[in-house]
Amino acid sequence: NILILDSEGKRVAVKYYSDEWPTNSAKLAFEKSLFGRTLKSNARTEAEITIFDSNIVIYKFVQDLHFFITGGDDENELLLATVLQGLFDAIALRLRNTIDKREALENLDVIFLCIDEVVDQGYAFTYLSSY
C-alpha cells in the first residue's frame, strides 16, 4: 500500500493493494492511527521503519508531506525501502524537486502516474540498470 498524507494526516494520494481494510472508513482509521504513531519521529533525512498492526511500514517526511509504504510482516524491508525511495525520486524528478502539498495537489495526475509506474497490483517493478 502506498500512502501520501499531509502534515495533518489527511489524504493527498493513497493506493491500497490489499483487502485488509475493506471499507473506506477502515482505511481512514488506519491512516489516522499510522499518522499518529509516526508523527513524532524524525524521518526527514532517512526513511524510518516500524511495525504497525502486523504491517511493516517504511516512511519518510518531506516538507509537509508524509510518504508511507506498507507491506505484510513477511515482506522484505529492503525492497519496501527501495520502493519508497524509487517513488520519492520519481515524484521529485517530475515535480522538479518542489515536493510539498500544494505542488502535489496541483499535479495529482503525475503523483498517481508515478505510483502506477513503481507498483502494479501490489507488485513492485524491478528495473535493470547499467550503473
| pLDDT of 128 higher than 50 | no
User: Is this prediction's pTM over 0.75?
Assistant: yes
pLDDT in tens, 45-93: 788 999 998 899 999 999 999 999 999 988 889 989 999 999 999 999 9
Sequence ranges of the domains in the chain: 2-124
How high does pLDDT run on average in the chain? 88
User: For domain 2-124, is the CATH number 3.30.450.60?
Assistant: yes
What is the per-residue pLDDT for 30? 94
Q: Which residue has the cell 547499467?
A: 130
CA count, 13 A, side-chain hemisphere, 13:
23
In angstroms, rounded to a whole number, what is the distance separating the alpha carbons of residues 109 and 17?
Answer: 19
What is the per-residue pLDDT for 130? 43
Structural contact between residues 62 and 6, judged by C-beta atoms closer than 8 angstroms: no
| pLDDT of 131 higher than 80 | no
